[in-house]
Amino acid sequence: MYRSCGSFSETYADDMALLRTRWQWLALGVLLVALVAFPLVVSPAWIRFATISGITIISVLGLQILVGLAGQVSVGQSAFMGIGAYFAAVAAVKLQLPFPLPLLAGAFGAAIIGILFGLPAARIKGFYLALTTLAAQFVFQFSVVRLPDNWFGGSAGISVARPFIFGTQVSSTTGFYYLTLPIVVMTVFATLFILRSRVGRALISVRDNDLAAEVTGINVAYYKVAAFGIASFLAGLAGGLLAYENQLAHFEQFTLFESIWYLGMLIVGGMGTVLGAVLGAVSLRLVQELLTLAGPWVAQLIPGARYDIAFPMVNVVLGIMIIVFLIYQPRGLAHLYRRSERYVRHWPFPY
């Protein structure tokens, strides 16, 4: 962790703390207050945007552990979100479980299936493994529709009512924002802890050199599969939230394109850090939102464009961003942020 000189730890507990200086506590406090106050000052459309971004952050954090930490590329994150959404919907609608339980059902359900698809990781790696996640993506899309209608609702999906908390239904956009916020914050801190734990270090060693990790006594297969489990757990959690937010669990929300976007968020945000996942998720969702708003306006400029142009536009822009970041800034926005932070701190000196 980067600190300016003069700020050092005096005890082991100090050294292990996530937040070390008074300024960091203050910054966190300001950020939390800003997040809580956010819905009071913006329109419902932007509150919904914030909720969706928060849900995306959860899923991308999961992907960060799998890709950024363990180095296993996944192009099936949205399929695992979909699995989470369906499990949560079934738990909420069919089993009538009270609110937080369906989310957990979705998360654990997705984790189990994620581990199942992650099992080949014991034998293969690299993009061969990415292909198994691709298979997961298609198997999900193709099978959900064709399973009996009374299981997962067939092509109609499952409608989910907004959750009840202490007997009152959280139906407003703002209410759901406040419901999502603590879950997002909790996930962020949980991921921070995983990154700094034994598991996190083991995963990093697997990423950097799996053979070397294996001979130093790390059970590579176990940790790879565990990374799949954690990633799909968070994907499932996010998927469940999304089902509540949209009041629908439907396979068309969880396409391969979404999966690639999540990976793109990691590339743009930066691999290996929580900050990267958060920055990537928020910035790409913002780009997507702005392009969707600009869509009709752009459609007028292109003669003969009668259809929805926003979606392909998002694809083109995101694709370009992925490639540009890979070429010019492989460490992502998080690295840019750190550099500018350092620049501001040292100004007017170069270093």
Partner 1 sequence: MLMETLLRVLIGGIANGAIYAAVAVGFSVIYRSGRVFNIAQGELLMIATFMCMALFGTGMNHWLAILLTAIAMGLLGLLIERLMLRPLVGQSEMALFMATLGLLLILNGLGTIVFGTEPRLFPDVLGTERWRLGGIAIKESNVLGTALVVVTVVALAWFFRSTRTGLFMTAVAESHQIARSLGVSVTRSIGLSWAISGVVATIAAVAFMSGRSVSPDIATIAFVALPVVLLSGLETVGGVLLGGLIVGVGQSMAARWLDPYTEGGASLIFPFALMMVILIIKPQGLFGWKRVERI
- Residues forming contacts to partner 1 in the complex (CB under 8 A) are 71, 73, 75, 117, 119-120, 123-124, 126-132, 134-135, 138-139, 142-143, 145-146, 209, 211-212, 215, 257, 260, 263-264, 267, 302, 305-307, 309, 311-323, 326-327, 330
Residue with Cβ nearer partner 1 (90 or 267): 267
Residue with Cβ nearer partner 1 (5 or 327): 327
Residue with Cβ nearer partner 1 (25 or 138): 138
Interatomic CA distance for residues 25 and 261, integer angstroms: 33
Nearest approach, Cβ of residue 267 and partner 1 (Å): 6
Determine the residue type at 13: A
Q: Are 59 and 278 in contact (CB under 8 A)?
A: no
Nearest approach, Cβ of residue 211 and partner 1 (Å): 5
Q: What is the largest CA-CA distance in the chain?
A: 68
CB count, 10 Å around CB of 345? Answer: 10
Interatomic CA distance for residues 281 and 294, integer angstroms: 20
Radius of gyration over every alpha carbon of the chain, rounded to an integer in angstroms: 21
Interatomic CA distance for residues 134 and 145, integer angstroms: 18
CA 288 to chain centre: 15
Residue with Cβ nearer partner 1 (51 or 137): 137
How many residues are recorded in the chain? 351
Write the burial class of residue 10 (CB in 10 Å: 0-12 exposed, 13-18 middle, 19+ buried).
exposed
Nearest approach, Cβ of residue 306 and partner 1 (Å): 8
The vertex-63 CA angle with 294 and 267, nearest 5°, equals: 55
Nearest approach, Cβ of residue 85 and partner 1 (Å): 20
Nearest approach, Cβ of residue 59 and partner 1 (Å): 17
Residue with Cβ nearer partner 1 (47 or 207): 207
Nearest approach, Cβ of residue 11 and partner 1 (Å): 38
Residue with Cβ nearer partner 1 (117 or 223): 117
Exposed e or buried b for every residue in 268-300, given b needs 16+ CB within 10 A? bbbbbbbbbbbbbbbbbbebbbebeeebeeebe
